[in-house]
Amino acid sequence: MERAPVRAPLIKNLEFKVGLLLVLTLVLAAGFLLYTMYARGAFERTQRLILVTENAEGVQSGMAMTYAGFPIGRVKRLDLADDGEVRVEMAIPVKDARWLRQSSVFTLEKSLVGGARIRAFTNQPDDPILEDGAERPLLTGDAAAEIPEIMAQVQDILANVKAMTQADSSINQSLVHVKTVTERMAGEHGVLGGVLGSPENAGKVIQAVDRSNALLASLNDVSHKADGMLGKADQRVFGPDGVMDEVQKSVTQINAILADVRDSLKKADAILANGEAISADVKAATTDIAVLRAEVDDSLTKVNHLINEINRKWPFAREVEVKLP
């Protein structure tokens, strides 16, 4: 079996190549060591912050504290003090310490997935800067602690949702009705069909409307005709040679007649007065004449009444009553 002679200089630049690899390895190893030390903050000036909490579950050495999502310090070590409280010693790089003020609040949050997180909040940026070695409480908020309560509420909500989504639930039925109505609305008779429930009813309404339209049209005609007739009647009644003219003339004639009647009555009255004076002794005759006079008075009243009546209806007369002298 042949083997290459061990010391034969077969390889070019053997020492250089191997030296290069060794140097590279050393640089990488030393560089990596220095880099991890730098990354762990070994070359950074830090200030101390002690966070005191009852339960530091989930907190580990090296864990970061974040401010506004940016890591500004890490947990250096954890101590369980004699009073049973956990003292978490944080190392805050001096250049990041300006974010922490006297009034800053520190919280420890445990989420369902992933580790715990320490977060810092600064509400008053004008406060004096947190001093080195400050001691602050670490407030804990546990997402898992609220789960039972949330679950109870969620169950209620789910029950309601279940009741709402069942096949015979009100919402479902309403939706079915809405669907029916909208289907009808989309049908031949549109929204009317939806409102009235069936195509027949909608048809009737449309027919009724059509008829009303026709009726209105004929009414319009009628009113036109009535207008014409009224105009003619007006002419007939109040126009020249109309009914009213004739009536006025007749009334004037009646007045003349009545005046005549009054004159003749005056004469009769005068005769009667003479007759009374002549036959004052004749008592029997007197009674008859008194009866006659009452009768004449009666007819005079009637005529007067007639004249009043006519004057009321046809207010053209000058003299309102007939007076007995």
Closest CB to another protein among residues 1, 284: 1
Closest CB to another protein among residues 74, 110: 74
Our finding on whether 29 is near another protein (CB under 8 A) is yes
Closest CB to another protein among residues 5, 128: 5
Which window, 33-41, 50-58, 270-278, 302-310, contacts another protein (CB under 8 A)?
33-41
Our finding on whether 15 is near another protein (CB under 8 A) is yes
d(CA 106, CA 319): 118
Helix (H) or strand (E) segment spanning residue 136:
strand 134-142
Our finding on whether 12 is near another protein (CB under 8 A) is no
Which window, 7-15, 132-140, 263-271, 280-288, contacts another protein (CB under 8 A)?
7-15
User: Are the beta carbons of 72 and 65 closer than 8 angstroms?
Assistant: yes
Site for another protein in 106-125 (CB under 8 A): 113-114
Q: What is the DSSP letter of 130?
A: P
First CA to last CA distance, the chain: 188
Q: How far is CA 299 from CA 38, 271, 308, 312, 314, in A?
A: 147, 17, 14, 20, 22
* Least separation in angstroms between CB 150 and another protein: 19
Pairing of strands 105-110, 116-121: antiparallel
Site for another protein in 52-81 (CB under 8 A): 62-64, 71, 74
Smallest CA-to-CA distance from 51 within 141, 143, 134 is with 134
Our finding on whether 95 is near another protein (CB under 8 A) is no
The phi and psi torsions of 53 (rounded to 5 degrees) equal -145, 165
* Least separation in angstroms between CB 188 and another protein: 54
Our finding on whether 38 is near another protein (CB under 8 A) is yes
* The only residue of 17, 77, 232, 236 in contact with another protein, by rule CB under 8 A: 17
> 3-state DSSP call for residue 106?
strand
d(CA 19, CA 58): 47
d(CA 222, CA 156): 71
Number of residues that bind another protein (CB under 8 A): 30
Which window, 27-35, 118-126, 156-164, 263-271, contacts another protein (CB under 8 A)?
27-35
Beta bridge partners of 129: 101
Distance of CA 145 to the CA centre of its chain: 41
> Six-digit token pair at 204?
């009737």
User: Are the beta carbons of 140 and 53 closer than 8 angstroms?
Assistant: yes
* The only residue of 39, 151, 167, 277 in contact with another protein, by rule CB under 8 A: 39
Tell me which residues touch another protein (CB under 8 A).
1, 3, 6-7, 11, 14-15, 17-18, 21-22, 24-25, 28-29, 32-33, 35-36, 38-41, 62-64, 71, 74, 113-114
